[in-house]
Structure 1
Amino acid sequence: METMIMILLLCSIISITIIFFKKQTTRKKKSNTPTSPPGLPLIGNLHQLGRHAHRSLCSLSHRYGPLMLVHFGRIPVLVVSSAEMARDVLKTHDRVFASRPRSKITKKLLYDGRDVAFAPYGEYWRQMKSVCVLSLLSSNMVRSFRDVREEEIILTMEQIRKSSSLQVNLSEILTSLTNDVICRVALGRKYGGEVNFKELMKRFTRLLGAFSVGSTVPCLAWIDWISGLDGELEKTKNDLDEFFERVLQDHEDGDRQDRNDFVDVLLAIQREKSVGFEIDRLSIKAIVLDIFVGGTDTSYALMEWVMTELLHHPECLNRLQEEVRTICKGKPRVSEEDIQEMKYLKVVIKETMRLHPPLPLMVPHESTQDVKLRGYHIPAGTEVMINTWAIGREAVTWGPDAEEFRPERHLDSSVDFRGKDFELIPFGAGRRICPAISFAVVLNEEVLANLVNQFDWRLLVESTEVRTGVAESTGIAAPRMFPLYAIASTTN
């Protein structure tokens, strides 16, 4: 009897699977959607995602094309893996794909989409973006925080100097530096003793890149509770809100007439209604949180990868040091004016962004209406993932050595990373391009120039990274999985 039941159960599973694939094939023929890898009932293509989704999707695109449709449970996802296709999405049909999908994670952590990066496309998003672009991230504001950047860089160089000729944890140093700069710029001061802010932000960014079963397969939402995701989301949401509420209260209670950090600016806008529309308390918290997401993990990860690549390619490090030290002419500190002349510095950063974009998969887009894309039908509500990691490694664009770190390839190239050239879009492009490009680039250039000007760097002799490769961490950004240790020695 048990054998018969097992046979019937097996036959039922096989029948359901066959019916599912026939429906999928029929639906694809009728709708003329892009090529899709075979999926499984209920979960779709989720089983084909490895530890690093950008790598798994890149491998699939080699077989199914640079415009590929996958299904994450009930959600259709268009995966874009070439510059040509990215141009169609982010320029030709930019308005159609300008919105963001909603998920349990962003709803919990980002005040239900009241921030700028993850807010749905519409009037609210336009208003909040205008506040950021005109009031927080303008060229004047970036220049106004020059003293903050310089002071924190000086402190960091002194910290390294005290460990000179000893092994230093560059990852920890760069994380602290970016965190301290952003804290002072956005909140007016560093936060350390009274709250473990670094740990809180690390937890936040890890969760922001986590996978929610309930968002893709609603009938399996209980798995998020069993796995502890729901509990982590709730605790992190509460901890963040409590922290930012305290920050706002400190600004409102204190005499801050001579200060001009981001919270001050936003509170003044709210108080004076100077932008023509209301900004409530939750919106202020959400915008400040955006600044941290875009300014800490992504910036420190980029600097970490720059130093990793230079340490693995000593000839590039030597060339960069020669340029920086020649221009500085013995000065201990590199100024922003000096950096304008450093062409090789800029291409080193550009090449690192090509191989290690701050967000390997851009923040997802979502189509707001049906659209034809390269002859394919893309229905409204389709999520779009643009694989910047794959685009940066396209052999058709970058040549047969696309996987190699070679900054010289950019010296005679007009390709830029500010959203005009789709071969290199680490900050995105179109309406949803990151508004903090100038802020991030100035900090990255100044830190890197000072690191190579004041110190000679080398890896430990016993380091195996060059032979084994460097593992990536998981999350919305992709820093190194393990800290970068190096030996710094003073140049004098």
Structure 2
Amino acid sequence: METSLIVLALAWLGAVIAFISNKIRKPKKKSPPGPKPWPILGNLHQLGSLPHISLHLLAEKYGDIMQLKYGSRTVVVATSAKMAEEFLKTHDGVLASRPPLASGKYTDYNFKGMIWAPYGPHWKKARKVYLTELFTLKRLDSFEYIRAEERLRFLSGLYAQCENPVVLKNHIKRYTLSSISRVILRDKYFSDHKTNTSLVSISEFHEMIDEWMVLNGVLNIGDWIPWLRMFDLQGYVKRMKVLRKKFDAFHDYAIADHMAQKDLAGKNFVPKDMADVLLQLSEDDTDPDVKLNMESVKALVHDLMLGGTDTSGTTTEWAIHEILRHPHVLAKLREELDKVTGGERWVEENDFPQMPYLEAIIKETSRLHPLSPLLAPHFALEDCNVAGYDIAKGTTILINTWSIGRNPIYWDNPDEFMPERFLQGKEISMSGKDFTLLPFGAGRRKCPGYILGLRIVRTTIANIFHGFNWKLPKGMKHEDICMVERYGLTTCPEVPLTIIPEARLPIHLYK
């Protein structure tokens, strides 16, 4: 008995010595600086209704790499181009995944879409499909006639409202949705009113998109404090489930119609849109491990529809607000537009290389009003060291592009709308090569469809101001145009602009 006690005591003493020795030998991890978290809540109480601005203000105190606690989860925020490059380029492979948030589970087909899929075989396959099958320059060029037809329909619709107040955002949303849906689904599957061939009206579909963007940008307490997940305190998960059913019904209907047309064509089938391409790839896929199944097809079509529609429309809306608030910018833009077109035709996609000021306006809009003020979150797949700080596996990474765009180190007069800054000195790209300007992200998770989005944005902005003079409603001044942000996965103006169009080109162009 005494021998056993001695053995146990020696074993216990050995364990204590080993623990102490390990603590001495093991270097203390160096975490990024940040505010002290509260119990349970962490730093969630320090985030307001516009989290990117709250994080920007905290970064002014703690630096351009900062660590917080969202409930029990660790979050690291980058607020400089240098730190963004560290996360999105230098350590891109380790940090290219996504955190498992409720939005990805319930609104993106259980993480099957490009937006929320974790980094791995499925995501790699989906991205390859996007880049090599859907967004090649050849395929984008082949759909140019669709964009031209929808653009003329949009401009003709504005002409029909001349001298009457219009909510411009509604017309832009309808136009971008029609353009994107024809490229992806060929038919629109929605109309002004529900019919036998359309499950939803255009207004209902826009409401679904808006709800998706809000729910994918919210701070859902259950994501960050897991033991509260079952209670759904904010009701977000309930809303996600309702929205999922609506989108699933829409995609089921559209995909079934495509399958029926494909079966009818038989061996003579030729893909006519992106959904057709995905279905063909799914049918031909023999990979037993990562097969492109029907659920994956719906998820990818879903992401294409939402991403293409909302991002193009939101960037265009912000640009219009800024241009109208700055008459000298509008005058310079009109001078460039008239010079290129002679005032006798609409602006076309092949005119872009001759329009540096238009490009500067889009870049300046993206700097001040980034589509995602906080890029979709990244997620650490393993421990790594970034800029001398230890980042633990399972850490969520946020890149504050809103803060980068207002950093005086990179931008003179950062709060001013000055497109001219992009016409001086070194050219700054929007493709993710310059980390001071990241409208589409960078690295592996960069938006694969940004080229299509830019084509739509350029022609829309150009022709809105080329084809029309715009008058503000009586009593409204340029400085009254709303620049307050409404937060979501993408951030848009809180109050849409109501404005009066007046034709400025030969009448036959609007027909």
How many residues in Structure 1 have an aligned counterpart in Structure 2? 462
Aligned pairs for 1:280-299 (under 5 A) are 280-299=293-312
Alpha carbons 1:388, 1:425 under 8 Å: kept: yes
1:248 aligned partner: 255
2:237 aligned partner: 230
Query: Residue 493 of structure 2 aligns to a residue in which SS?
Result: coil
1:222 deviates by 4.4
Counterpart of 1:119 in structure 2: which amino acid? A
Label 1:275 to 1:181 Cα distance change in 2 as closer, same or farther (>3 A): farther
The structure with the larger Rg is: 2
Aligned: 1:458 with 2:465 = no
Task: Provide, for residues 170-222 of structure 1, a one-character-per-residue CA deviation record: whole Å limited to 9, x for no partner.
Answer: 11111111111111111111222331322222222221112211111122224
Q: Distance in 1 between matches of 2:327 and 2:48?
A: 32
Q: Distance in 1 between matches of 2:271 and 2:346?
A: 26
2:363 aligned partner: 350
2:420 aligned partner: 408
Counterpart of 1:486 in structure 2: which amino acid? I
Alpha carbons 1:188, 1:259 under 8 Å: kept: no
2:395 aligned partner: 382
Which one of 449, 453, 474 corresponds to residue 436 of structure 1?
Answer: 449
Alpha carbons 1:213, 1:223 under 8 Å: kept: no
Counterpart of 1:161 in structure 2: which amino acid? Y
CA-based RMSD of the aligned residues comes to: 1.7
Alpha carbons 2:368, 2:402 under 8 Å: kept: yes
2:4 aligned partner: none
Query: Residue 397 of structure 2 aligns to a residue in which SS?
Result: strand
Alpha carbons 1:66, 1:81 under 8 Å: kept: yes
Alpha carbons 1:311, 1:458 under 8 Å: kept: no
Aligned: 1:34 with 2:46 = no
Q: Distance in 2 between matches of 1:154 and 1:75?
A: 49
Name structure 1 gaps, 5 residues minimum: 1-28
1:423 aligned partner: 436
Query: Residue 221 of structure 1 aligns to a residue in which SS?
Result: helix
1:156 aligned partner: 154
2:281 aligned partner: 269
Which one of 449, 474, 485 corresponds to residue 498 of structure 2?
Answer: 485
Name structure 2 gaps, 5 residues minimum: 1-26, 506-511
| TM-score between the two structures when normalised by the length of structure 1 | 0.91
Q: Which moved more, 1:330-339 or 1:151-160?
A: 330-339
Query: Residue 469 of structure 2 aligns to a residue in which SS?
Result: strand
Which one of 305, 313, 331 corresponds to residue 318 of structure 2?
Answer: 305
1:111 deviates by 1.3
1:172 aligned partner: 170
Counterpart of 1:129 in structure 2: which amino acid? R
Aligned: 1:136 with 2:130 = no
Task: Provide, for residues 124-183 of structure 1, a one-character-per-residue CA deviation record: whole Å limited to 9, x for no partner.
Answer: 111110001111111111111101111111011111111112222111111111111111
1:113 aligned partner: 111
Q: Distance in 2 between matches of 1:172 and 1:253?
A: 33
| TM-score between the two structures when normalised by the length of structure 2 | 0.87
2:222 aligned partner: 214
2:143 aligned partner: 145
1:258 deviates by 5.7
Label 1:143 to 1:275 Cα distance change in 2 as closer, same or farther (>3 A): farther
Alpha carbons 1:299, 1:358 under 8 Å: kept: no
Label 1:166 to 1:332 Cα distance change in 2 as closer, same or farther (>3 A): farther
Alpha carbons 1:311, 1:459 under 8 Å: kept: no
Q: What fraction of aligned residue pairs are identical, expressed as a percent?
A: 35
Which one of 77, 80, 85 corresponds to residue 79 of structure 1?
Answer: 77
1:30 deviates by 3.9
Query: Residue 125 of structure 1 aligns to a residue in which SS?
Result: helix
1:468 deviates by 7.9
Q: Distance in 1 between matches of 2:40 and 2:478?
A: 40
Counterpart of 1:249 in structure 2: which amino acid? A
